[in-house]
Each structure stands twice: as structure tokens, then as C-alpha cells.
Structure 1
């Protein structure tokens, strides 16, 4: 997709916004510690922590991908909203408080401490790196599309330009602590996303004060135009496929390494739980808004008798929040605000993911296995090199992205759900789980996740049941079974670990 012309006002807004994040980060930077290692900073209250969780969560998949899926599939896309928000409910119930009590800062650290196994730690670090790479591909696709809209280059040129800007931002963010000030980041992004939506709703003659609740009449009108194709349940897929996708995204959310780390550093158990609740609320503000963009775009087309073919609609989907502003007649600078919100969210997510992946390589692989005598400065240099290598790999994969932004992201969630989620849940709640079960479970989860790309073609009975974006409905029960079975036929974990779980993690 090629957009014509350099757009000065969106480019200027983007530059000023990213600069504001860097300046704010400079003033709020936590002294001591490296961006490549988790640092427990001072508490900012549960509301601020919830905003930080939401900021950490907001990405191109949230601002672009959700609207794109709704634009294409209507009701079916609710599986993404329910899955990505419902996952935090799982975290709240199953993991948040217990992870805080366990006291480890990263997923690999938890795995090694809980299972007393460097091999399990290595495997979990590799999984964390793969998740980061897949997740980043989706973010880079969004960056490439929006840079193409702003600067008028073709997608590949825009992707390369965006990758260069991302790496520059990562370097500056690390130096200035920009990704520490996530409350400010969230406030800017949500305002940039909601205010233009209010203007769009007003221009479309719908209730605009709270457009997230006021676009019901738009759905009714769209149902008449499309004979229910976007509002009827399961018009695009069956109930089993819908449930499989929602379940996969829920367990994937609860297993994502960069999400889990938010609860390791909460000041206390109460704050860990309330932070999740506020995080769900702040994330919900975004997820209530993205579908409205898609519906307003479809209404605009329907009123003009425009019925895009399937391929055109698919190419449009990932950029529909920007195109909705253009079609409905927003001023260019206001549409540029929407684009800036998506870019800033993608930049923040890429920064966090690449640092998470690079940290896993530098500390969990390089320091723990290759060079145990390495100093922290050596580990940081390795992490910076790993960041660059990972960014280059992501660019190569994003040149020809394998799907929509939301679909690519869902694969990362499927991997997290099939591997890390069972390891955490059983590790917390069943003291008999041992390192053999954990390793066997993670390997099984990897096999299930990637076999979903080809196994349904070989076994027709699996079509509609096993899919790359929704494999956890089969994978998670299988991994639980493997972990339990292997743990029961192999020696139990050390007694001190079982005692620690009983006395510390589950203490009233």
C-alpha cells in the first residue's frame, strides 16, 4: 500500500510527541540500574500502576489490529477483546498475588527458582525471545503502514525508515529512561485515540460525548446495510472457533513475560491485585474505542454504496483507524493525532519487547551459561548487540508479514499460553510439579503452537479446531496433562521449594 504525499502536520505531531516522552522520561528517570534489567522502583499507587500496566499493554495490535479485525469480521472480533481483557482476570485470580510473594523479577528467574533447573530456565528464555520476535513483527507492520501514510513511501521503504527511527528511539529511551514514565505515556495515547473518535461520531451524527457507548445506532444501521454480516454472532466462524480464539488470547495474556514482570515488582500483595483491576479498566477504555472506529468506517462506506472486495478490505483493515479519519473528513492534524497514538504505542511495545528479549539472551543465556564471570557492563553490551540483531530479524520478517496485525500478535499469545502459562500455574498451585514436567510441558507447547501451521492440512479432522491463532484450546490441556504425568513418574522437586510454596507463597 502506497500513500501519496508527505504530510507535514502528522510528521510534526509525531516528532513532538516522541520528544515529549523522552523529555518526560529524563525528568522521571530512576537512577541506578540498567534498562536491560528489571529494577523495582518506588511505588506510584495502584491507579498509577494500573495506568503503567495499560501503557505497557497498548500496542499496534491494540490501536490498529483490533479495529482492523472488527472492520473485517464484526462480531467475531469480540473474541480478541474478551481474550485480551479476560486474560487479566486470570492473572488477578491465579497469579498476580502469588507471583508477588514468590519475589522473582523475570519469567526465566521464576522458572529456575521454582523448578531448580538451569535447563528449564534456558528453555523459558528461548521462548521469551521467540515471543518477543513474533510480537514485534506485528508492531513493525503497523509502523511501516503508518510511516507510509505520513511520509508517502511504499511499505518496504517506510518499514526500513521506521526500523531506523525505532532503534534511535530505543537508544534514547534507554539513555533517558523514557519507558519509565508510563502513566504520562498512557494519558497521552488514550487522549489521542478518544478525542478524534468523539469528533468522528459527531460528524457521523451519532452520540459523541461517550462514543464508545453511543454507537449502538450505528451498529443497527450497519446491520441493515450488510444484512447482519457484522452483527450476527458467528457469521464468520463457528462458536468453537470463537471460543478457541478467546481462550488462547486469555491464557496467552496471562503467560506473556513482559506482562508478568509487572507483578514481580509490586510493593505488596494488595497493590499487585488492585493494579490489575485498574489496568483492566484503563485497557478497557481503549478496547471500547477501537470497534467504534471500524463501525464508523463501515457506515461511511455503506452510505456511499462502497462494497470493497475481500482483498481490498483486508489490505485496508490494519490502517482503517487512519482511513476512517480521512474518509469522514477530519482535519489532517487530527487524523495525524490518531496515527501518532498508534506509532507511539508501537514504539513503546517494541522497546519493551526487544529489551525483554535482549535481557533474556544477555543474562539467562550469555551470563548464566556462556560466561558466568561476565560483569554487568559486559552483559549490557551483549544485550545491546542482541537488541540490534533481534531488530534486524524482525525487519526481515516484517517485509512480507504473514497476516493481519492482530493475527500475528495472536500467534505470540498462543505460544505464551501453550508454554509459560501452564508452567506458572502448576508451578504456583501444585507443589509436586518438577523440572522434568516443566521441560516436557514447554517442549510440548512449542510443538503444538507451530504444528498448527501445517498439521490441519495433513489431518482434516483438525481443521477448524487447531489454528495458529487459537491453538491453546487443545494445547493448554495437553500441556497440563504432560506436565502432571511426567511429574508423577519422576522424582519430586526439592523439599525446600515445596516448603517455600506452602509457607511463603500461599501463606494467609
Structure 2
């Protein structure tokens, strides 16, 4: 077999293994289909959180942005990692104590408003769609790279594969499957990186700590300074992006649902701690790929102009492996990990969106008498519909993988995060404040494309990928003002928050 055949063979072997696991654990209830299923321990829960989080943005997009922008792109690393710390401190155990399965279910129960539940469900679906577009782009680029086809055909074939599998097995959100996924991801990402570090002459046992020498070599030998801060953006842009990704992480619907697969509060917190550790292993590795890729190009005299570099940034991890001459089987392992991450993130997001349609809209709002069987049918139909919408949007993606993903985080940070924060920690927050806050949050998220041409100040303060630095505080102020100007929530809910959610603090 030649290198190309080895690469494709390894990818197919890994995906077939997931198909077998998925079929074995086929979900037959809406609870498993939408919300993740069985408990597997603190470390297992952490692995499930990490695999639920690892996506094309983490394994491909992050390295691509660091390759392009150096220090400026570290806002993604700090924001995404710091978001889990924020989630651990402010929301994880409190959400678990409240006892609702989804963000719309929490909002509907906490604020006692069908309108707030409906609006939250629509926002969750929008977040899932935007996030999936980025993952579909990653899948399309990997299929194009593997099979030598154009991007559009890669998106179509890859999208059809993931949608078909999701409808067939319906178990991609089950934690045991996600533990297997995390093992595949971490192995496929770190083993080739060790090979790269050894090939380039750096300490290979811990390449995450040795690529700093490569950064120095780039600066000394080729005058490429990866460590210079704010060369490709301002301090405000860095801080705004970092903050947006942090609060967006704490508000992502498919991350929040993971806290309901644990039996107690202590395990919920420790699952997040373990998940943060597993996520950090990948985030420590992505910058190394970017630096090694830039160094290999410089040594070969192939430093690309900005436009060409941007066009291939999302595939820089695989490109670096190929340029360094890794064996075909090792390139296959790397491609399999990246494809698996994108593949399963899409599946988890589509299932979250489908759960919002079947449970939060169809069952909770429109048809409270619906049977479990009918809810399951609606969920599978919604999966197909959402997958089709994402596939069409991904044919002409509006940006790089991580940039598209950041828009989903901005929407979550401007809408769901303030609702959760005030809903848990301020008993006076009411339904009118929740609805007003979400509407303002949606406007803040899309202020740049809507009003940026009319007002440069709006465009500067509310960048599409970084709008929550100004947007989230504004939404919180609106929620407080509207809540104080309207009747308070029922006393029963305020007593429940004091006794059940915060009673341990007394």
C-alpha cells in the first residue's frame, strides 16, 4: 500500500469502529437520544465532556489561526479554557441542583414563561446550526484532502455520511462512546506531534513544552515573531474575543446538558475538572502544530503570501504532517482524529438541536400530550432537517472554522449565559427581563453586520466574533432594569432557589 492508501484505510477503520459502538448502544428512548444517557464516573464524565468539546475548531481551526496570527490567536486558547473554569465556579453545580435537562427547560421553569422557553429553544437551535457549519467545513476539507476532490463535493459526501450515521445509530451522545472518541482524538493528535518534534530536532517526549525553541528559531533565523503581542490586532480585540469565548463556553447548550449525566453535585464539579484537564492536553498541542508548520515552510522557502496562507490555514495540521514526510499510516491517524472530532461534534450538536425541537418546542410548547414515540420521530425528523440546512450553508462558508465557531459562542454568551447567571444568582430576575435580555443579546451578536455600515463605533464595539465583552454586560443591565420595573417572579421560585439551589451556602 502507498501512503495515500494507508491514510484512507486508517480513517475508514476508525470510523467503522465508531459505527459498531454506535449500533451496539443504539438509543431507543428520547432521554438517551437527546440528553446523553448513562453515568460513567468522574474521569469518564470528564472524557465525555472533553470529547463533546473537541471539534474541528479545536483540532484544525485553532492551529490555523495561530499559524496566521501568532499571539493574537491565543485568545482562543485562553477563552475556551477559561470558560470551563467560569462554568465550574459559577454554574456547574447550581445547574445540576436545579434539575432541568436543557437550557430552554431551565429557562422555562425558572422564569415561568412559555415565551422565554420558546425564544431560548430557537436560540439553541441557531447556535447548533452555526456551530455545525464550522464543523461541516472541517469535514469537507478533510474529505477533499483525503480523496483529492473539490471542497463542495467533500462537504456533500462528508455531510451525508454523518447525517446517515446519526439517524441510523442515534447514540453519539452516549458517554461511553465519547470516551472512546476522546482516546482516539488525543492519541491521533499527540503521537504525530511527537514524531514532528523528533523530525525537526526538538525534544519529542513533551513537544507541548519544547516548541518554544522553535518559536525562537523562527524569530532568529527567519524574522518571524510568533510571540510578539498584538501584531495582528489590538488589545481590545484580544480581550473582547477572549471574554466572548469564556462566557460563550459557559452558555453553550450541548455543554450544559452534560451535567445531568452525573448522579451528584460533587461528581458534576469533578467531571468539569477532569474535562478541563483533557481539553488542555489538546490546547497545549495546537500551537505546536502551528509553529512547526510555519518553521517547515520557512526551511523549505515556501512562506506563503497572506491570502494563500489564509486559504489553507484550516488544513495546516494535515499540511504540516505531509510536508514533514510523516508515514502514511501516521497521517491517517491524524486525519482520523480530526475527522472524528468534527464528525461527532456535528452529531452532538444536531442531537442538541433536535432535542430542542422535539422536547422544548414540540412537547413543552405545542403538544404537551405527545407520546415518547412521537417525540422520537420529531427528533429524528429535526435531525435530518437541521443537517440539510447546515449542509447548504457549509457549501459557501463565511470564514475560517474557528471564526465561524466564535459567532456561535458570541450568541450563547450574549443570550443564554446572562439568563443562567441571573436566573441562578438573582432571585428577582423575572420573565419580562429574560425575554428583553435575549432580544437585546441577539441584536448585540449581529450588530456588526446589521448596523456596522451605519456606525463605525458599533462595528468596533461589537465585532461579530467578539461581541459579548460589551453585549453580555448590556444584556445583564437590561434584564435587571426590566425585572425591577415589572412584577417579581413567584415567591415559590425564590424560595426554591434559596433552599434547593443555594441552601448549601447557608
TM-score above 0.5, yes or no = yes
Secondary structure at 1:403 match in 2: coil
Task: Report the 3-state secondary structure (helix = DSSP H, G, I; strand = E; otherwise coil) of the residue aligned with 2:191.
Answer: helix
- Residues 375 and 75 of structure 1, relative CA distance in 2, 3 Å threshold: same
In 2, are the aligned partners of 1:117 and 1:435 still within 8 Å (CA)?
yes
Stretch of structure 1 that moved more, 318-327 or 449-458: 449-458
Moved more, 190-199 or 375-384: 375-384
Structure 2 alignment gaps of length 5 or more: none
Please state how far the C-alpha of 1:306 moved relative to its aligned partner.
2.1
In structure 2, relative to structure 1, the CA distance for the partners of 1:329 and 1:300 (3 Å cut) is: same
Is the CA contact (8 Å cut-off) linking 1:30 and 1:41 kept in structure 2?
no
1:91: how far off? 0.5
Which one of the candidate residues 424, 435, 440 is aligned to 1:439? 435
**Which position in structure 1 is the counterpart of 2:7?**
10
Look up the SS of the partner of 1:457 in the other structure: coil
Give CA deviations for 1:67-119 in whole Å, capped at 9, x if unaligned. Answer: 00011000011100000010001101100010111111111110011001111
Is residue 106 of structure 1 aligned with residue 105 of structure 2? Answer: no
Structure 1 residues 323 and 256: alpha-carbon distance in aligned structure 2, compared to 1, 3 A threshold: same
- Is 2:356 the counterpart of 1:360? yes
Once superposed, what is the RMSD of the aligned Cα atoms?
1.7
* 1:36 positional shift: 3.1
Q: How many angstroms does 1:450 deviate by?
A: 1.1
Aligned to 1:49: 45
- Provide the C-alpha distance between the structure 1 equivalents of 2:42 and 2:175, rounded to a whole number of angstroms: 18
The equivalent residue for 1:400 is 396
Q: Once the two structures are superposed, what CA deviation does each residue of 1:338-397 show, in whole Å capped at 9, x if it has no partner?
A: 111111011110011001101101121122233333211111111111111111111111
**Where does residue 144 of structure 1 map in the other structure?**
140
Q: CA deviation at 1:184?
A: 1.6
**Take 2:498 and 2:171, find their aligned partners in 1: how far apart are those partners?**
42
Tell me which residue corresponds to 1:269.
265
Could you give the per-residue CA deviations for residues 242-299 of structure 1, whole angstroms, max 9, x where no partner exists? 0000000000000000001111332111111111111110000000111111100100
Give the deviation of 1:7 after TM superposition.
3.3
Q: Secondary structure at the match of 1:16?
A: helix
**Residue of structure 1 in register with 2:287 after alignment:** 291
Matched residues in 1 for 2:246 and 2:195: separation? 33
Distance 1:329 1:366 in 2: 53
1:8 to 1:221, Cα distance in 2 relative to 1, 3 A: same
The alpha carbon displacement at 1:230 in A equals 2.1
The answer on 1:421 being equivalent to 2:417 is: yes
Report SS of the residue matched to 1:372: coil
The correspondence of residues 72-83 of structure 1 with structure 2, limited to 5 A, is 72-83=68-79
Name 1:19's counterpart in structure 2: 16
> How far 1:453 sits from its partner (Å)?
2.1
Label 1:435 to 1:312 Cα distance change in 2 as closer, same or farther (>3 A): same
Distance 1:226 1:422 in 2: 46
- Aligned to 2:35, the other structure's residue is in SS state coil
1:364-375 matches, within 5 Å, as: 364-375=360-371
Contact 1:448–1:471 (CA under 8 A) maintained in structure 2 = yes
What TM-score comes out, normalization by structure 1 length? 0.96
Q: Is the CA contact (8 Å cut-off) linking 1:83 and 1:247 kept in structure 2?
A: yes
Partners in 2 of 1:28 and 1:388 — Cα distance?
20
Q: Is the 8 A contact 1:36 1:358 kept in 2?
A: no
Q: How far apart, CA to CA, are the structure 2 residues paired with 1:180 and 1:386? A: 24
CA distance in 2, matches of 1:343, 1:45: 27
Contact 1:22/1:177, CA 8 A, preserved across alignment: no
Aligned to 2:317: 321
* Equivalent pair of 2:37/2:175 in contact (CA under 8 Å): no
Q: Report how many residues are paired.
A: 503
2:34 to 8, 33, 37: 37
Which residue of structure 2 lines up, in the alignment, with residue 217 of structure 1?
213
CA distance in 2, matches of 1:476, 1:59: 25
Contact 2:10 2:332 survives alignment (8 Å): yes
- From 63, 83, 88, the equivalent of 1:87 is 83
CA distance in 2, matches of 1:309, 1:177: 41
SS in 2 for 1:474: helix
Aligned partner of residue 397 in structure 1, secondary structure: helix
C-alpha spacing 1:112/1:280, structure 2 compared with 1 (3 Å): same
The answer on whether the counterparts of 1:241 and 1:465 sit within 8 Å (CA) in structure 2 is no
User: What is the CA–CA distance in structure 2 between the aligned matches of 1:321 and 1:254, rounded to whole Å?
Assistant: 28
Which segments of 5 or more consecutive residues in structure 1 lack a partner in the other structure? none
CA distance, structure 1, for counterparts of residue 85 and residue 36 of structure 2 = 25
CA distance in 2, matches of 1:175, 1:484: 40
Does residue 331 (structure 1) correspond to residue 327 (structure 2)? The answer is yes
Aligned to 1:505: 501
Conserved 8 A contact 2:97-2:265 = yes
Per-residue deviation, 1:26: 4.7
Alpha-carbon separation, structure 1, partners of 2:208 and 2:168: 35
5 Å-filtered alignment, 1:217-296, equals 217-225=213-221, 227-296=223-292
